[in-house]
Amino acid sequence: MKTFIPTEHPHRRRNALNGDWVLVSPHRTKRPWLGQVEKLPPDDRPSYDPGCYLCPGNERVGGERNPAYTTTYVFPNDFAALLQDGPRGPVSDNDLFQANAETGICRVICFSPRHDLTLPQMEVAEIRRVVDVWALQIEEIGADPNIAYVQIFENKGASMGASNPHPHGQVWSSSSVPMEPAKEDHEQRVYFARHGRPLLLDYVQAELAAQERIVVANEHWVALTPYWAVWPFETIVIPRRHVVELPALRDDERDALGSLFKRLLTRYDNLFEISFPYSMGWHGQPTDGASYPHWQLHAHFYPPLLRSATVRKFMVGYEMLGNPQRDITPEQAAQRLREMGEVHYRTAKGD
């Protein structure tokens, strides 16, 4: 069944996954842009940079030296936001000044030894190795009884806060469940109690039936622009089977995920012919050993670019004080991504 989608008039959409709302204002796509224009990052990095603290064999900022690694490489974050040792439990229970101690483990994952690659430029087998490392990190760190959640994420591009262009992501784990997955846990739990089925499994089936926001899909995975998307070209990646966490993926599902990531991220790069910036991350069940049958594994991609390679969306004003707002509709965004080819623009140009 088709969803009701106003194409010219402002309206609000509810995020079924976390309970938030987004204001959609399709008529504003016609407004002129006189705001900030981003500088294009250089697109000609060498395969090895002697000044890069993530390249093989180089010394990191903290003084440690990387081995001459030839595949995906993981090491402890030299400037971790969370520390493994420290106090635990409430620090202050004052109604106005509440605080809890927080401990955790933080690591860095170099996707490739090559400084000049990004995930869409890597081979599917190489992306599959990254998937395996993600899963292994959740298994290893999640086995710690003091860890309640393991957050895998990647910030790609300077406009999304990446401090180094070398292809890499991070693992932050914590003794409590962070705010965003906690909100998703609540909504999925409520939906499961009401319907007896995981929310995102029902959602992806409805999206497959409607075909309005699907970007790319294969036998095991679906990537789509969610009905409630906030960022202009936001996508969510969901397995077709009920899976609660990355380590539970079968070999064929991991292979298919590598393929789907390459196809999706190539479309991103081809949209404006730029190494497309984004923040992405995996959400799976908490690792506290409890049962979470209501959970469904998924990955979020939050790219900031709006109209071109140099014009990005800012979350300011009404969005900080009221609720998020978007101009281009999720349906329009999905269509534009679908129309992109799956041959990377640099390959097509012979770079």
- Residues 41-62 have a mean pLDDT of 90
Pairing between strand 21-24 and 325-326?
A: parallel
Distance CA 221, CA 237 (A): 7
Contact (Cβ atoms closer than 8 angstroms) between residue 231 and residue 313: yes
Pairing between strand 278-283 and 221-224?
A: unpaired
- Residues 61-71 have a mean pLDDT of 94
Nearest to 217 by CA among 227, 200, 205: 205
Q: What share of the chain is helix, strand, coil (3-state, %, to 5)?
A: 30, 20, 50
Residue 160, Cβ density class (10 Å: 0-12 exposed, 13-18 middle, ≥19 buried): middle
pLDDT greater than 60 at residue 2: no
Given this model, what pLDDT does residue 6 score? 61
Exposure letters 220-245 (e unless 16+ CB within 10 A, then b): bbbbbbbbbbbbbbbbbbbbbeebbb
Percent above pLDDT 90 for the chain: 81
**DSSP assignment, residue 326?**
E
How do residues 316-350 score in pLDDT, each as one tens digit? 999 999 999 998 999 999 999 999 999 999 998 87
pLDDT greater than 50 at residue 34: no
pLDDT greater than 60 at residue 48: yes
CA angle 330, 111, 251 (to 5 degrees): 75
Domains in the chain, please, with CATH?
A: 15-24+41-348 (3.30.428.10)
Quote the crossing angle between the two packed helices 251-272 and 330-338, to the nearest 10°.
100
Residues in the chain: 351
Q: How far is CA 274 from CA 41, 42, 264, in A?
A: 9, 10, 14
DSSP three-state, residue 123: coil
Given this model, what pLDDT does residue 33 score? 41
Average predicted confidence (pLDDT) for the chain: 92
- Pick the range with the lowest mean pLDDT from 104-113, 191-200, 302-311: 302-311
Given this model, what pLDDT does residue 71 score? 97
How do residues 178-234 score in pLDDT, each as one tens digit? 999 999 999 999 999 999 999 999 999 999 999 999 999 999 999 999 999 999 999
Confidence band of 94 (pLDDT split at 50, 70, 90): confident
Residues serving a catalytic function are 168
Given this model, what pLDDT does residue 32 score? 47
Distance CA 149, CA 82 (A): 12
Distance CA 300, CA 331 (A): 17
Cβ neighbours around 311 below 10 Å, total = 16
Contact (Cβ atoms closer than 8 angstroms) between residue 235 and residue 225: yes
How do residues 245-299 score in pLDDT, each as one tens digit? 999 999 999 999 999 999 999 999 999 999 999 999 999 999 999 999 999 999 9
pLDDT greater than 70 at residue 89: yes
